Amino acid sequence: MQEKFEEIRKRALEEAKQVDSLNTLNEIKAKFVGKNGEVTSLLRSMKDIPNEEKASFGKLVNDLKEEVNKFFNEREEYLKNKELESKYSKEAVDITLPGKKKSVGSLHPLNIVRNKIIDAFTGMGFEIFEGPEIDTDYYCFQALNIPKDHPARDMQDTFYFNDNILLRPHTSPGQVRTMENKKPPIKILSPGRVYRADDDASHSPMFHQIEGLVVDKGVSLCDLKGLLDEFVRKIFDSDTKTRFRPSYFPFTEPSVEVDVTCCKCHGKGCSLCKGTGWIEILGAGVVNKKVLEMSGIDSNVYSGLAFGLGIERITMIKYGISDIRTLFENNIKFLNQFDRR
Ligand code: PHE
């Protein structure tokens, strides 16, 4: 009997050592101490043991049962720890690894400048009106006092779909569309793409303009000067000065071209301003009475001022960009330099 006990003990220890998964451990343990296990059935054979030996036999079986349980419990503990360890090591994060850098997009320099310009003017009470990019001869020219075959059309030669429909060469049709639909006082800004048959380092066949229009009683060239002085100080340095030069646009009378003191040399003269100290930034003027009348506004009561600026031009001056084409090449390294949020 003694030997049989010893043999079971040894075998249980051996098998407990070999189990390497928690799933099978209980199965194997049950072979020994389960309901029909070997050790349990020893207890059942108690009835065949002579009475005087029953007590010591019972103790031996219980001891064996306890021992076998211990083997498997220890093994269970060991396997559980092992499983946890491997789980932890799989989930471990190496905090010494360098982080993955997320590349964040940036605003295009034209959008940065466009937003700044819009902010500057909306801060002075202007509303935004966007007109169509494809427009008619009437809105692009005739209603702006540029009749058919007028030589001023040459300044803005553009792309025609037919005799009447074209890609707008400027945002000035926005003036007409606004005046036709809105009673004064009018104070609008009309940003958008425009198209011209031009292509070199400072001209692109597609570029962006912002048109400004103010119509009210008593609006004069002085208001234009004050408005543009304020705008220029917001976009360039606060000590930037403006200068009006006489010019000609059929839709404004008088017409001016507006220069600012060069932002690179502050007026001393450098390569950017070609030694003059001044850079031209936009065209403007007092709205021609004919234009007001054609759009149904009484020019004896109301007067207006208008200006049109090129966003590319302002961007190039502001950031010292010498070739307009770099603004459209989508070179990420170039584009990333501007947006410093
Ligand atoms: N439309 C003119 C241009 O494109 C600019 C301009 C707008 C001039 C408004 C005067 C008034 O050149």
pLDDT digit string, tens, across residues 4-20? 888 988 998 898 899 89
Q: How far apart are CA 3 and CA 252, in angstroms?
A: 121
pLDDT digits (tens, 9 = 90+) for 188-217: 999 999 999 988 888 999 999 999 999 999
Index of the ligand 1 atom closest to the CA of residue 212? 9
CA distances from 33 to 6, 8, 291 (A): 15, 11, 106
pLDDT score of 202? 84
Ligand 1 geometric centre to CA of 45 (Å): 113
DSSP string, 217-280: TT--HHHHHHHHHHHHHHHS-TT--EEEEEEEETTEEEEEEEEEE-TTTTTS--TTTTTSSEEE
Q: Is 224 close to ligand 1, i.e. is its CB under 6 Å away?
A: no
- Write the CB contacts of 141 (distance below 8 Å, at least 6 apart in sequence): 147, 148, 150, 153
Residue 92 — φ and ψ, nearest 5°? -65, 145
Which residue lies with its CA nearest to atom 12 of ligand 1? 283
Tell me the average pLDDT across 108-136. 96
Q: What is the pLDDT of residue 340?
A: 66
Strands (E), the chain: 127-128, 134-136, 165-167, 186-195, 206-216, 242-249, 252-261, 278-287, 303-310
pLDDT of residue 316: 92
d(CA 326, CA 338): 13
Ligand 1 neighbour 191 (Cβ under 6 A)? no
Distance in Å, CA 92 to ligand 1 centroid: 65
156 has pLDDT over 80: no
Rounded distance from Cα 244 to ligand 1 centre (Å): 14
Spatial contact of 112 and 338, defined as CB atoms under 8 Å apart: yes
Nearest CA to ligand 1 atom 5: 308
Percent of the chain with pLDDT over 90: 63
Ligand 1 pocket test target in 153, 157, 172 with most atoms within 8 Å of CB: 172
> What average pLDDT does the segment 243-258 reach?
97
CA dihedral 262, 268, 270, 273 (to 10 degrees): 40
308 lines ligand 1 (CB under 6 A): yes
Confidence of residue 3 (pLDDT cuts 50, 70, 90): confident
More confident residue, 122 or 46: 122
